[in-house]
Amino acid sequence: MRHKNINHVVHEWIVPYLKENHLIVDATCGHGYDTKFLCDQKVNVIAFDIQIEAIEYSKNLLKEYANVTFIHDSHVHLERYIKHCDGIIFNCGYLPHSDKKVITKPESTLEAMAKAYSLLSDDGWMCVTFYQGHDGGAEEMKLGIDWMRKNMNIVHEYTYENVNNPPIAIFAQK
């Protein structure tokens, strides 16, 4: 059976929660596909990535858009750039077709999630897609999901059935 693509599922979850003037953070902009999806919904977007290659690629993809700001820094420093946000998306792992050693890491992902939570509006949301295929991915998934279950209200979960070590996406409200 063909699975519905996890990124498409996540985008469908997010749409009903977006309102004009919302500030949404893309914590892992990568090739900018999630960032572009958010920009197309007419919200204001702040997109982080630690790789300049990812930032340059995404800037080029979104050169016609005025509702996005790119930040070349780790999402663990997000409070240096924003004081409040309405939603945040993490798409963990590495940049496809790039250096597989530059990956999100369990401790920093968890720290960034906790910081983001404290900056979220009262009805804010967090959506995280975890992968197990990179070093530390299984630990990142376990820590991140446990943290979300403990601290947030889970609204949606999605994974691929009958696949070894599948990704898991979780959408939660504050």
List residues binding ligand SAM (CB under 6 A).
Answer: 28-34, 48-51, 54, 74-76, 91, 93-95, 102-104, 108
Nearer to ligand SAM, 34 or 86 (CB): 34
Distance from the Cα of residue 154 to its chain's centroid: 16
Provide the minimum distance between the beta carbon of 92 and ligand SAM in the complex, in angstroms, as a whole number. 6
Among residues 99 and 123, whose Cβ is nearest to ligand SAM? 99
Q: Closest distance between ligand SAM and the C-beta of residue 76, in Å?
A: 6
In the complex, least distance from residue 17 CB atom to ligand SAM, rounded to whole angstroms: 18
Cα Rg for the chain, rounded, in angstroms?
Answer: 15
State the nearest-atom distance from the C-beta of 147 to ligand SAM, in Å. Answer: 16
Cβ count within 10 A of residue 16: 7
DSSP 8-state symbol, 94 = B
What are the tokens at 171? Answer: 């959408």
For ligand SAM, the closer CB: 54 or 170? 54
Comparing CB distances to ligand SAM, the nearer of 28 and 44 is 28
Rounded to whole angstroms, the Cα distance separating 71 from 78 reads: 9
| Strands 120-130 and 85-91, sheet pairing | parallel
In whole angstroms, what is the distance from residue 28 CA to residue 57 CA?
13
